[in-house]
């Protein structure tokens, strides 16, 4: 009798663990799917499209998915194809997608914290002083407040520049400032210019404002909040904040320098600019792949090695719980330190003075391998449908999965089936890492036995 009760209790706990892990995944997926559906319907209305009739299903679905997943991939020219009403729909979808991702990811962090042991939970709260257990309303207010403050400041800066520096009417300057500020902070990459930001590649006011919004959006709510409170005391930062900040600096410096050097003499990109302008444009080109998607240079004319570097930056992405996509800096950092520890013959993986639990190793490896499998599978499928080279197709696939939006110029020319693959990649790339990460962290399974150990030959 006692044994039966214990078994029933274990099964009940296991079921509860599975439900807790499943519900957030379902809520996130259904919410974004509904938003995408509503956006698709609105963009299909004749009022959303310039000229007679409305957009077809592929055009509307691709654009709505790209907006809600804050990607920026397009198959039609945004400023020419869509009306002001359509631009407004895209802007709202970007804002919902960006704030929604940050909110869901932060709340899932709270949910994960509640599943930890009491001592671990208390330690986490005392370390961060940011997220009290169960303080959902304060979290949501903080996310929205940070988004609105950053977007407002950047919108004002952009509007002033377009009014004072370019002589635009105030109404037009303000609208363009708001649209591009929201698009930048949410790492969306949508622009109301046919050449995106290429016309402002040498304008430091426009370029650096966009870069600032992109970088802040890519840090994440928890990191921004902790930096605001403990900016001068890095020794008290949490492991997540330290990893995101250090990783962001390394990737920004490395990416900007590499792209600038590779394109320095390319007459189709940086080569035709003055040296100071090359530095500015190279910096911007190194910032946007993680994962804003604005292009200030002609991506199609870049060196193939630059494409490869951009692929890496896009695949890594930004911080967890941010508006950026990709594998995430923390996931990549965990994998890096696992390799370093193994090469050194260590037994425990340590990051910035903290020891990582083995479950974190498995979670990072799982997310990375599944992401790699999706990218490889999608690349192979599109190559079978088209005659484009692998480097171009791989670039488009990673850009879609990492929700970046940069393109070598082939997306609009892909067949509908290939474009639908990119739609699926954008959706999975936006929802998948968050949902998968939460499911892995929240799962509970207790085994009553262990299999015998045996080591296969590696290498």
List the pLDDT tens digit at each of the 459 positions of the chain: 444 444 444 444 344 444 444 455 666 777 788 889 999 999 999 999 998 989 999 999 999 999 999 899 999 999 999 999 999 999 999 998 888 766 665 555 555 555 444 444 444 343 333 444 445 567 677 778 888 999 999 999 999 999 999 999 999 999 999 999 999 999 999 999 999 999 999 999 999 999 999 999 999 878 888 888 888 888 888 898 999 999 999 999 999 999 999 999 999 999 999 999 999 999 999 999 988 889 999 999 999 999 999 999 999 999 887 888 888 999 999 999 999 999 998 888 999 888 988 878 888 898 899 899 999 999 999 999 999 999 999 999 999 999 999 999 999 999 999 999 999 999 888 877 656 555 555 555 556 677 787 778 776
Q: What is the DSSP string of 60-74?
A: HHHHHHHHHTT----
**CA atoms of 431 and 31, how far apart (whole Å):** 10
Please indicate, yes or no, if residue 330 is contained in any of the structural domains. Answer: yes
Residue 430: the pLDDT is 84
DSSP 117: -
User: How far apart (Å, rounded) are the C-alpha atoms in residues 282 and 276?
Assistant: 10
Residue 450 lies in a domain: no
Domain for residue 132, yes or no?
yes
Domain range for 206 is 7-442
Contact 63, 426 (CB under 8 A): no
Identify which of 396, 412, 393, 426 has the alpha carbon closest to the alpha carbon of residue 76.
412
Interior angle at CA 332, CA 115 and CA 441, nearest 5: 15
| 96: its two tokens | 């919902």
Q: Is residue 455 part of a domain?
A: no
Three-state DSSP class for residue 351: strand
- 241: nearest Cα among 343, 124, 349, 342: 124
Q: How far is Cα 17 from Cα 20, in angstroms, rounded to an integer?
A: 5
User: CA angle, 52 as apex, 48 and 54 as ends, to 5°?
Assistant: 40
Angle, vertex CA 175, rays to CA 171 and CA 180, nearest 5:
150
DSSP SS3 for 76: coil
- The predicted pLDDT at position 324 comes to 85
Has residue 398 been placed in a domain? yes
Q: Is residue 366 part of a domain?
A: yes
pLDDT of residue 19: 41
452 in a structural domain: no
151 phi, psi to nearest 5 deg:
-65, -40
Q: Give me 29's structure tokens.
A: 């997926």
Helix, strand, coil percentages in the chain from 3-state DSSP, rounded to 5: 70, 0, 30
Q: How many CA atoms does the CB half-sphere of 270 hold within 13 Å?
A: 25
**Contacts (Cβ under 8 Å, ≥6 apart) of 119:** none
Helix (H) or strand (E) holding 304: helix 304-316
How many domains in the chain? 1
The per-residue pLDDT for 16 is: 43
3-state secondary structure 138-168: HHHHHHHHHHHHHHHHHHHHHHHHHHHCCCC
Look up the pTM and report it: 0.86
The angle subtended at Cα 187 by Cα 362 and Cα 285, nearest 5°, is 100
> Would residue 407 count as lying in a domain?
yes
Looking at residue 135, its pLDDT comes to 57
How many angstroms separate the CA atoms of 296 and 294, rounded? 7
Pairwise CA distance, residues 319 & 315, whole Å: 12
* Residue 330 parent element (H or E): helix 329-344
Q: Is-contact 97 187, C-beta < 8 A?
A: no
The rounded distance, in Å, linking the Cα atoms of 138 and 107 is 11
- HSE-CB at 429 with a 13 A cutoff on CA atoms is 39
């Amino acid at each position: 009798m006692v044994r039966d009760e214990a078994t029933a209790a274990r099964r009940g706990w296991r079921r509860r663990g599975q439900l807790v892990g499943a519900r957030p995944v379902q809520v996130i997926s259904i919410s974004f799917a509904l938003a995408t559906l509503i956006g698709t319907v609105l963009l299909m209305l004749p009022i959303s499209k310039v000229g007679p009739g409305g957009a077809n299903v592929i055009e509307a679905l691709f654009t709505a998915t790209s907006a809600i997943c804050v990607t920026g991939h397009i198959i039609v020219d945004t400023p020419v194809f869509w009306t002001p009403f359509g631009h407004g729909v895209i802007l709202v979808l970007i804002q919902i997608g960006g704030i929604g991702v940050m909110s869901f990811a932060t709340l899932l962090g709270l949910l994960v914290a509640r599943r930890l042991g009491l001592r671990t939970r208390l330690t986490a709260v005392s370390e961060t002083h940011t997220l009290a257990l169960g303080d959902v309303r304060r979290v949501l207010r903080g996310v929205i407040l940070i988004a609105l403050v950053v977007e407002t400041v950047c919108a004002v800066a952009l509007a002033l520049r377009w009014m004072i520096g370019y002589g635009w009417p105030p109404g037009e300057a303000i609208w363009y400032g708001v649209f591009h500020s929201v698009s930048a902070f949410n790492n969306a990459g949508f622009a109301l210019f046919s050449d995106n930001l290429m016309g402002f590649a040498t304008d430091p006011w426009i370029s650096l404002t966009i870069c600032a919004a992109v970088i802040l959006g890519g840090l994440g709510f928890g990191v921004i909040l902790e930096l605001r409170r403990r900016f001068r005391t890095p020794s008290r930062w949490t492991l997540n904040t330290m990893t995101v900040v250090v990783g962001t600096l390394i990737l920004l410096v490395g990416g900007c320098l590499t792209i600038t050097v590779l394109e320095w003499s390319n007459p189709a990109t940086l080569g035709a600019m003055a040296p100071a302008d090359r530095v500015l444009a190279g910096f911007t080109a190194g910032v946007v792949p993680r994962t804003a998607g604005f292009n200030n240079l002609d991506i199609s004319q870049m060196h193939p090695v630059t494409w490869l570097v951009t692929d890496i930056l896009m695949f890594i992405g930004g911080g967890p719980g941010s508006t950026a996509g990709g594998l995430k800096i923390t996931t990549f950092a965990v994998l890096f330190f696992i390799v370093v520890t193994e090469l050194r013959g260590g037994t425990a993986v340590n990051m910035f003075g903290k020891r990582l639990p083995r479950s974190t190793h498995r979670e990072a490896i799982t997310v990375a391998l599944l992401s790699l499998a999706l990218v490889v599978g999608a690349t192979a499928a599109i190559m079978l449908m088209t005659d484009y080279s692998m480097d171009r197709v791989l670039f488009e696939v990673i850009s879609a999965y990492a929700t970046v939006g940069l393109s070598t110029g082939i997306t609009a020319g892909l067949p509908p089936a290939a474009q639908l693959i990119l739609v699926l990649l954008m959706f999975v790339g936006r929802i998948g890492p968050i949902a998968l990460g939460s499911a892995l962290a929240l799962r509970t399974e207790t085994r009553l036995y262990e299999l015998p150990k045996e080591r296969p030959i590696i290498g």
